[in-house]
């Protein structure tokens, strides 16, 4: 079944949404217990932006892409459930993801606790459902708790454009968080949601970093000093994010890597080197963002049309070994390499989720 | 026409004002009252012919069904009112002695499922729309935002689509000055402020409007409606009809009688009490308890509207200016924007 917005709002925060919607409370208290945080082994490789597994593509595409992801040893995928969709579409997509996870052919599982990382293995990826914007919440920030109950573990304050909380990185204005935006940040903190600022405007993101009680992430953004693009982060954003314990996930999305028509791996690595030098591996992760869909909303948006020319040598999950090799070539220790590959994102998930 | 008991003795100026009021086509540019049975007789008692009411929404949410109680109300009261979508409808209602109700929004937060829905709302009768309500939304910033800014990309699309559909664009007041001036940059022709008060008389209240924006709206041929909300008229104590007239006079002196109207913004029939949400209604802009959301006693409903006519007359405004302020200015702009 589904629920009206009003019905959802009434149950939001009650803990009764899963049962009302006929979902098993996956990742409940009895979830995989060994170790609390994967500390008994290496952290999983995490990709902080996997739109090719978004549920509106249908179960075959989702299962197929997550199989490819898992084969490349990416064990945890942040999958966008919604960006600028309204409430009904967002809930529909989220329920579809739950349905697919329980369906035949789904060799993957939804992840709600860091402790569940222990159950992931090659061939069985974990999915963290994400909102890459808060359009669906509108002014009812109480809905955040309800969506968290249904497994949405990462939420972006806004997606490229302006909403009730603040400005997006492609907007005409660059204002700090609104009053409601500050409350939304606190609500996400209280609900145990990791805050994503990747598509937020510069000043909105800085005020969100300041407002948040727990570290935040830019799940898929590169370095503005290396490639001047509004979705990439300035030194001020990088420094503020890292100073509060946050993580920047490097994106392979071509226009964020370089202005050249065909990027190569070294273009991508220039962003890695900048971040390693400036803030170190504890604040670097991956949000590779392999995608094939149009992203423009307005003609003036500085976004290319598909097909996207991903960097040669990093054009899909199967190329991840090239990146591993580059980390080794840079002389990073094993534990530092693990941080970049997923340990840093696992750390901020643990802090935001409180377990 | 029935005038309220304290209308006074029927001699001299009062008689003249009563006589004049009965000839006017009185239009209220913004009403936030309930769609309830008492509304129509109350408008009739005050000699108000046309009333723009906030409707076509479900509280602060978009309509969840086109079976709107507002539309049901209009439909079931067809003997006494007209759901007006043209100025011709309003003039006909005036001739027939019926009340014309125009539907408008005070914000565009109802378009979260897409701008395309605006066409549907136009079909349902939407003829005027504000943009943001005190706090920022996906269109622009609000008057109480700590830092105001201009329109968003979506906001530009919204105001241009409003104009394309010939829906009145309502700026100032609830939406920030920065957003309002940005709207002026990306629109053509008249825009209005349906209900505000001059900052010059109420400094420190961000819900009021600066002289600069008054002039800019008037410069585009628009109209500014003046509210009778007690707290916008005076910072403390009880406002009077004279205070309301002071605000009208200030606006007329600033931009001329062709660009000022009444936008009383009453909340007749709405039972609200207790503390207000300070986020959209901070104490510098609104009284912190709903019990204090009041109006000058005579303007707490429509029966006192003739007192505005009388006051304008006593302050020396010409019959023509009074007719404009009391209604014809709204009709002029609505006719120009609506095209019919």
DSSP per position, B39-57: HHHHHHHTTEEEEEEE-SS
How many residue pairs bridge chain A and chain B with CB atoms within 8 Å of each other?
Answer: 73
Q: What is the pLDDT of residue B11?
A: 57
Query: In terms of C-beta density within 10 A (0-12 exposed, 13-18 middle, 19 or more buried), how is residue B128 classed?
Result: buried
pLDDT band at B189 (very low <50, low <70, confident <90, very high): very high
Query: Which residues pair with residue A200 across a beta bridge?
Result: A168
The CA-based angle A344-A205-B134, given to 5 degrees, is 145
Between CA A53 and CA A68 the distance in angstroms is: 10
**pLDDT tens digits for B139-163?**
999 999 989 999 999 999 999 999 9
Q: Is B146–A179 a contact, with Cβ atoms under 8 angstroms apart? A: yes
Say if residue B40's pLDDT is above 60.
yes
B76 touches chain A (CB under 8 A): no
Quick one: which of A160, A202, A97, A172 has its CA closest to A303?
A160
- Using CB atoms, which residue from A164, A175, A183 is nearest to B137? A164
List residues of A whose CB lies inside 8 A of any B CB: 4-6, 86-88, 135, 138-139, 161-164, 167, 170-176, 178-180, 183, 297-298, 300
Say if residue A143's pLDDT is above 50.
yes
Between CA B190 and CA B220 the distance in angstroms is: 5
Residue of B nearest to A170 (CA): B153
Q: Is A175–B149 a contact, with Cβ atoms under 8 angstroms apart? A: yes
Q: What is the pLDDT of residue B271?
A: 80
**Whole-number mean pLDDT of chain B?**
93
State the CB neighbour count (10 A cutoff) for residue A197. 28
**pLDDT tens digits for B282-321?**
999 999 999 999 999 999 999 999 999 999 999 999 999 9
Q: Is B141–A175 a contact, with Cβ atoms under 8 angstroms apart? A: yes
The helix or strand, by DSSP H or E, that contains position B253, with its residue range, turns out to be helix B241-255
Query: Which residues pair with residue B100 across a beta bridge?
Result: B50, B82
- Using CB atoms, which residue from A6, A88, A164 is nearest to B138? A164
Angstrom distances, CA of residue B37 to CA of A324, B74, B76, B81, B98 = 73, 11, 10, 11, 15
Q: What is the pLDDT of residue A294?
A: 94
Q: What is the pLDDT of residue A30?
A: 37
Please, what is the angle between helix A87-102 and helix A59-71, to 10°?
A: 60
Say if residue B63's pLDDT is above 60.
yes
**Average pLDDT, integer, range B111-132:** 94
Mutate to test the interface with B, among A160, A179, A183 (most CBs of B within 10 A): A179
SS3 B33: coil
**pLDDT tens digits for A264-289?**
999 999 999 999 999 999 999 999 99
Residues 6+ apart with CB under 8 A from A100: A55, A59, A62, A63, A106
Q: Which residue has the tokens 């040893």?
A: A73
Between CA B219 and CA B66 the distance in angstroms is: 37
B132 touches chain A (CB under 8 A): no
**Cis omega (within 30 of 0) for bond into A136:** no
Q: What is the pLDDT of residue A25?
A: 57
Between CA B130 and CA B173 the distance in angstroms is: 9
Mutate to test the interface with A, among B152, B176, B279 (most CBs of A within 10 A): B152
The runs of H, that is alpha helices, within chain A are 5-11, 17-20, 59-71, 87-102, 143-149, 179-191, 202-211, 235-243, 254-257, 265-278, 320-329, 334-338, 344-353
The CA-based angle A112-A115-A117, given to 5 degrees, is 80
Residues 6+ apart with CB under 8 A from B15: none
Q: What is the pLDDT of residue B201?
A: 98
Q: What is the ipTM of this complex?
A: 0.90
Q: What is the pLDDT of residue A45?
A: 95
State the CB neighbour count (10 A cutoff) for residue B186. 15
Are B85 and B39 in contact by the 8 Å Cβ rule? The answer is no
Q: What are phi and psi of B83, to 5 degrees?
A: -80, 100
**Average pLDDT, integer, range A6-28:** 83
Contacts of B156 in chain A (CB under 8 A): 172
Contacts of B277 in chain A (CB under 8 A): none
The helix or strand, by DSSP H or E, that contains position B104, with its residue range, turns out to be strand B99-105
Select the more confidently predicted residue: A329 or A123. Answer: A329
Quick one: which of A201, A133, A213 has its CA closest to A169?
A201
- Please give, rounded to a whole number of angstroms, the shortest distance from the CA of B145 to a CA of chain A: 7
Q: What is the pLDDT of residue B120?
A: 92
What is this structure's pTM?
Answer: 0.92
Quick one: which of B56, B40, B59 has its CA closest to B48?
B40
**pLDDT tens digits for B5-24?**
445 555 567 788 889 999 99
pLDDT band at B2 (very low <50, low <70, confident <90, very high): very low
- Please give, rounded to a whole number of angstroms, the shortest distance from the CA of A178 to a CA of chain B: 7
């Amino acid at each position: 079944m589904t629920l009206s917005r009003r019905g959802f709002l009434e149950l939001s925060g009650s803990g009764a949404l899963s049962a009302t919607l006929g979902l098993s409370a996956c990742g409940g208290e009895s979830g995989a217990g060994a170790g609390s945080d994967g500390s008994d082994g290496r952290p999983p490789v995490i990709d902080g932006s996997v739109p090719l597994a978004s549920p509106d593509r249908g179960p075959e595409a989702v299962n197929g892409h997550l199989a490819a992801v898992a084969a490349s040893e990416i064990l945890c995928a942040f999958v966008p459930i919604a960006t600028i969709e309204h409430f009904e579409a967002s809930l529909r997509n989220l329920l579809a993801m739950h349905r697919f996870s329980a369906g035949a052919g789904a060799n993957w599982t939804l992840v709600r606790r860091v402790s569940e990382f222990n159950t992931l293995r090659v061939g069985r990826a974990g999915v963290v459902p994400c909102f890459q914007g808060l359009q669906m919440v509108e002014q009812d920030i109480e809905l955040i708790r309800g969506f968290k109950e249904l497994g949405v573990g990462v939420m972006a304050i806004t997606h490229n454009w302006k909403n009730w909380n603040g400005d997006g990185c492609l907007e005409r204005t660059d204002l700090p968080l609104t009053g409601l935006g500050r409350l939304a940040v606190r609500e996400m903190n209280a609900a145990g949601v990791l805050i994503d600022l990747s598509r937020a405007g510069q000043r909105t993101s800085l005020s969100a970093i300041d407002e948040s009680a727990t570290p935040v992430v830019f799940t898929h953004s590169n370095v503005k000093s290396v490639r001047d693009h509004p979705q990439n982060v300035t030194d001020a954003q990088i420094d503020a994010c890292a100073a509060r314990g946050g993580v920047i996930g490097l994106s392979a999305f071509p226009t964020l890597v370089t202005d050249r028509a065909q990027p190569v791996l070294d273009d991508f690595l220039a962003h890695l080197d900048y971040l390693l030098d400036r803030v170190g591996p504890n604040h670097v992760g991956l949000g590779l963002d392999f995608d094939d869909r149009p992203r423009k909303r307005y003609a003036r948006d500085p976004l290319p049309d598909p097909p996207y020319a991903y960097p040669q040598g990093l054009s899909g999950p199967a190329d991840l070994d090239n990146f591993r090799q580059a980390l080794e070539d840079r002389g990073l220790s094993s534990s530092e390499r693990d941080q970049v590959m997923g340990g840093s994102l696992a750390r901020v998930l643990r802090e935001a989720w409180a377990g | 026409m029935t005038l309220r008991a304290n209308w006074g003795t029927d001699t001299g100026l009062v008689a003249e004002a009563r006589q004049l009021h009965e000839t006017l086509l009185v239009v209220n540019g913004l009403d936030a009252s309930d769609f309830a049975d008492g509304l129509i007789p109350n408008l009739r008692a005050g000699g108000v012919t046309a009333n723009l009411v906030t409707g076509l929404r479900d509280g602060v949410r978009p309509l969840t069904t086109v079976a709107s109680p507002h539309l049901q109300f209009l439909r079931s009261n067809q003997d006494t009112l007209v759901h007006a979508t043209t100025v011709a409808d309003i003039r006909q209602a005036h001739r027939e002695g019926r009340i014309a109700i125009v539907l408008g929004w005070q914000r565009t937060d109802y378009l979260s499922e897409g701008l395309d829905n605006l066409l549907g709302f136009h079909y349902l009768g939407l003829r005027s729309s504000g943009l943001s309500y005190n706090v920022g939304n996906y269109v622009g910033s609000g008057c109480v935002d700590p830092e105001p800014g201009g329109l968003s990309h979506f906001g530009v699309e919204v105001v241009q689509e409003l104009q394309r559909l010939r829906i009145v664009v309502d700026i100032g007041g609830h939406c920030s000055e920065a957003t309002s001036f940005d709207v002026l940059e990306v629109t053509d022709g008249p825009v209005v402020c349906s209900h505000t008060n001059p900052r010059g008389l109420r400094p420190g209240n961000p819900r009021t409007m600066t002289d600069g924006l008054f002039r800019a709206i008037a410069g585009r041929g628009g109209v500014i409606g003046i509210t009778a909300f007690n707290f916008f008229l005076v910072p403390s104590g009880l406002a009077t009809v004279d205070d309301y007239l002071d605000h009208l006079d200030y606006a007329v002196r600033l931009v001329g009688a062709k660009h000022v109207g009444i936008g009383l913004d009453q909340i007749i029939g709405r039972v609200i009490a207790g503390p207000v949400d300070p986020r959209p209604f901070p104490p510098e802009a609104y009284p912190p308890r709903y019990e204090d959301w009041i109006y000058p006693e005579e303007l707490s409903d429509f029966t006192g509207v003739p007192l505005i006519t009388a006051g304008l007359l006593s302050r020396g405004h010409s019959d023509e200016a009074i007719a404009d302020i009391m209604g014809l200015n709204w009709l002029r702009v609505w006719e120009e924007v609506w095209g019919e």
